[in-house]
Structures are given as structure tokens and as C-alpha cells.
Amino acid sequence: MKHQAHVAIAGAGFYVPPRVVTNNDLSQRLETDDEWIVQRTGIRQRYRVEESVTTTEMIESAGKKGGYPFEKFFLNVDRYGNTSAASIPIALTESLQQKAVREWDLVAMIGFGGGLTWGIHVLSVYAR
């Protein structure tokens, strides 16, 4: 009989870059102003990741905030880079195929990138 893996959310962490970019900051570089941006988007500020911060560093930071040790993470960003919406399913599939994840393990799945929210979902894997 073939077993199916099932998951349940067990915790969460996050990464927020320290650098804040306001609409006034943008208006110094572009032909716009705070009022124009707010009227169209509702956004007053956003956060910017510095170029020197690596993907792995962001993952480690989010994990720490969630209380999860970095050495427990299954990473494949070194092989594929950030593949956007496919990154998490690829890593989960690989970790299951390589038996890096076993029944009742907690699995931290982290997604982030341009225009996305940074975050971590922690799942408990079990077979039926």
C-alpha cells in the first residue's frame, strides 16, 4: 500500500529587512510624490534587502525568529537559485525523495523574493 504524506502548520517565523524606503525617498529619485503613490497603491513605505545579504542569510534569520536551528533546514537554492513559486514544492519533493524528511519530522518551508512576502511555514509530516 502506498503511503501519502500529509502536513499541518506547526509554527511560523519571518525576515524583515532593516532598510525602509519611503515614498519621499522615491520622490527624490523619480517624478512622483507621496500623495500620488498612496492614492494609487495605499503604500507609504516598503523594505529593501541590501545587495550584500544572501538568500541563505535571510533563511537563517527567519528560522531563528521561528526558533528553528539552521542545520535542520533542507536547502537547494545553491543548485537552482530562487525559482519563485516552484522553490518550495521542489525542495519538499527532493527532501522526501532523499529521505531527509521522515514521518513526524517538522519541515520549515521558506519563500521570498521580489514582490513577495518573506516568511516561513513549519509543517509536521506524517504518513497515512
Mean pLDDT value across residues 13-37: 92
As a dihedral over the C-alpha atoms of residue 66, residue 67, residue 73, residue 76, rounded to 10 degrees, the angle is 30
**125 sits in which H/E element:** strand 119-127
Mean pLDDT value across residues 18-42: 95
Q: What is the pLDDT of residues 54-94, one digit of tens each?
A: 888 888 888 888 888 888 788 888 888 877 778 888 888 89
**47 sits in which H/E element:** strand 45-48
Which residue has 500500500 as its cell numbers? 1
Indicate yes or no: pTM above 0.75: no
Query: pLDDT category, 25, cuts 50, 70, 90?
Result: very high
Q: What is the pLDDT of residues 89-119, one digit of tens each?
A: 888 889 888 988 888 887 767 666 665 555 6
Domains (ranges, CATH) in the chain?
A: 1-17+53-128 (3.40.47.10), 18-52 (no CATH)
**Contact criterion met (CB below 8 Å) for 46 and 15:** no
